[in-house]
Amino acid sequence: MKKLICAEDVETLKSKGDQVILIDNDTIITPSARDLADEYHMPFKKGLSEKFNDLSDTQNITKEYLVTLLKNLLSEAGMSGLAEAPFEYQKHASGLKIIRGSTVKLSPLRAGNEGVSYQEILLSEESHFQLGILEIDHSHFCEEDMPESVNYVVKGGLQVTIDDITFDASQGDIIFVPKASTIKWSTPSKATILSGKLKQGG
């Protein structure tokens, strides 16, 4: 079935914030639509797979469909895809928040050290407190002049070094780090830590 795109369709897409007009081999574009698309700098995009062709049937458009479509467009344009949310959670109007721990996605804490990953999961403006999950995988790293923190070892074991003295910590242990300390965290295996810190200036 042929699909016609006219100037009015371009106006509608522009008002919705679209930057690309999706077409297929059966799309007919009127001259006025081409002129208006050029004026708005909205290119026509062809060559998408068949599952994306029937854009007129909005009944079948889902969130997953739109995300996949946008990722494909970005990929074809040589741009990176959409970043996924770092975790799933539920929130109540009162401020109560339930973070689904199994969905938390960690990112490298520092460039060049893939063995240390972190993800902030909670930030309280009122108490100047932040909470995150830290994972050390057969690696080590140092923190200098950091705010005080309380760290709970969720899984595994690690070594904590301060003033050239090393302490062992294992699953279930709680590590308090005083303000402005220089600490080395290391493990020959893998450790997961729930880390709560006072924000700088808090």
pLDDT in tens, 4-35: 788 888 888 888 777 788 887 778 888 888 88
What band does 81 get if pLDDT is binned at 50, 70 and 90?
very low
pLDDT in tens, 28-54: 888 888 888 888 888 887 754 444 444
- Domains contained in the chain, CATH given: 3-76 (no CATH), 89-198 (2.60.120.10)
pLDDT of 130 reads 85
pLDDT at residue 174 is higher than 90: yes
pLDDT of 72 reads 59
pLDDT of 64 reads 57
pLDDT of 67 reads 58
* DSSP-derived secondary structure for the chain: --EEE-HHHHHHHHHTT--SEE--TTEEE-HHHHHHHHHTT--EE----GGGT-TT-GGG--HHHHHHHHHHHHHHTT---PPPPS--EEE-TTS-EEE-GGG---EEEETTEEEEEEEEEEEETTTTEEEEEEEEES-EEEEEEEPPEEEEEEESEEEEEETTEEEEEETT-EEEE-TTEEEEEE-SSEEEEEEEEEPTT-
pLDDT of 45 reads 79
pLDDT at residue 57 is higher than 70: no
pLDDT of 51 reads 41
